[in-house]
């Protein structure tokens, strides 16, 4: 057939039918594609929202892990400095070549190092410093479950509550100094009475927490005070409270306080390592859940693609069957026409069938 060929009515009708069926199948396929894509998008959007929530939890957990890792490292550094204190006390006891006046300064330098390590938190929540941080509370999953890590001061400090209840003595390390200052109880105001911790203090007596000391003892301005020592953190005092490491009694008390502090730090290192392991467990669980969600997204995408392919294949099969039926009808018509050409022309039924099949 060419563009100039005469088009029979039956051929035109057949092509129109083929076009209508093809259009219907195409519309039906397009609708199925939309339904499949919409269902897949809905499922993937739900999964992605959940994934975003887990990712947010993981970001917080990674910060917590960094925080706890930093805290454990600093606590271990403090533990090492306690061994240095033991060594300094040992050298003072067994006659190290350093002059006697240096033993106290070295001891106090290690105390400063312990406190500096405890307070040097960087960008983290300080779980071993003197400030009250109220611990570290963090979210462990998308359902807002939480864990809390308690803070404990692993430095060392003390206050001497002066007899009479009007004043107290606090250690002051501001501006690089190392002083013991008298403050008013209640207001906290400085009275102006103070002394240097290294060289300006003399221990007169100590029994338990009761202490008597003299400031500026080598001058005419010497003053004696008595009070009660209240310790914070590890409970180690400065060298003056151990008689500058010059007496057996002073060194014995130093050994006792340092060894007690070692036990305390060891317990808290173990606790903090346990807290770190717990945070890492929560992070691993969140990571596993995120990976599972990503797998579900991939699975949903693959399933949608398979559904689309199946719909495409079904549409092609339907179109093929439709075309086959039209061609079969065409062939049947052709055979009828061949049969009827031998029938008597004058028969009414024959004329009617020829008109129909023409």
Q: Retrieve residue 50's tokens.
A: 């959940």
pLDDT at position 214 over 50:
yes
Average per-residue pLDDT in the chain?
82
When pLDDT is cut at 50, 70 and 90, the band that residue 200 belongs to is confident
112: number of Cβ within 10 Å: 15
349: left (phi over 0), alpha (psi -120 to 50) or beta: alpha
CA distance 215 to 203: 9
Q: Is pLDDT of 4 > 50?
A: no
Whole-model pTM?
0.75
Statement: residue 184 has pLDDT above 70: yes
Closest residue by Cα to residue 255 from 94, 77, 75, 71: 94
The predicted pLDDT at position 41 comes to 76
Helix (H) or strand (E) holding 332: helix 248-340
Q: Residue 294: pLDDT band by 50, 70, 90 thresholds?
A: confident
Task: Give the C-alpha distances (Å, rounded to integers) separating 237 from 84, 241, 242, 283.
Answer: 15, 6, 8, 41
Q: What is the pLDDT of residues 54-80, one digit of tens each?
A: 999 999 999 999 999 999 999 999 999
Residue 332: pLDDT band with limits 50, 70, 90? low
What single-letter DSSP state applies at residue 220? Answer: T
């Amino acid at each position: 057939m060419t563009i100039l060929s005469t088009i029979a009515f039956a051929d035109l009708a057949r092509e129109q039918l083929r076009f209508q069926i093809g259009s219907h199948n195409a519309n039906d396929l397009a609708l199925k594609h939309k339904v499949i894509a919409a269902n897949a998008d809905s499922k993937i959007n739900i999964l992605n929202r959940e994934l975003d929530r887990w990712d947010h939890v993981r970001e917080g957990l990674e910060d917590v892990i960094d925080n706890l890792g930093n805290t454990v490292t600093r606590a271990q550094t403090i533990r090492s400095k306690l061994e240095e204190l033991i060594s300094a006390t040992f050298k003072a006891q067994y006659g190290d070549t350093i002059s006697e006046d240096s033993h106290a300064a070295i001891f106090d330098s290690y105390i400063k190092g312990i406190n500096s390590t405890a307070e040097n938190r960087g960008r983290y929540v300080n779980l071993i410093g003197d400030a009250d941080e109220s611990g570290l509370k963090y979210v462990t999953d998308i359902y807002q479950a939480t864990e809390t890590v308690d803070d404990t001061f692993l430095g060392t400090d003390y206050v001497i509550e002066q007899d009479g209840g009007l004043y107290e003595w606090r250690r002051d390390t501001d501006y690089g100094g190392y002083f013991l200052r008298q403050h008013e109880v209640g207001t906290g105001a400085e009275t102006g009475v103070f002394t240097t911790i290294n060289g300006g203090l003399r221990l007169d007596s100590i029994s338990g927490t009761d202490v008597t000391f003299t400031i500026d003892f080598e001058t005419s301005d010497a003053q004696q005070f008595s009070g009660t020592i209240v310790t914070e953190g590890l409970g180690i005092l400065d060298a003056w409270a151990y008689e500058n490491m010059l007496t057996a009694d002073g060194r014995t008390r130093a050994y006792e306080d340092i060894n007690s502090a070692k036990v305390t730090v060891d317990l808290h290192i173990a606790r903090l390592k346990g807290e770190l392991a717990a945070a890492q467990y929560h992070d691993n669980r969140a990571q596993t859940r995120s990976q599972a969600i990503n797998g579900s997204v991939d699975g949903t995408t693959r399933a949608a693609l398979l559904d689309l392919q199946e719909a495409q294949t079904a549409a092609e099969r339907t179109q093929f069957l439709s075309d086959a039926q039209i061609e079969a009808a065409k062939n049947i018509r052709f055979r009828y026409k061949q049969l009827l050409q031998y029938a008597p022309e004058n028969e009414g039924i024959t004329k009617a069938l020829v008109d129909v099949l023409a």
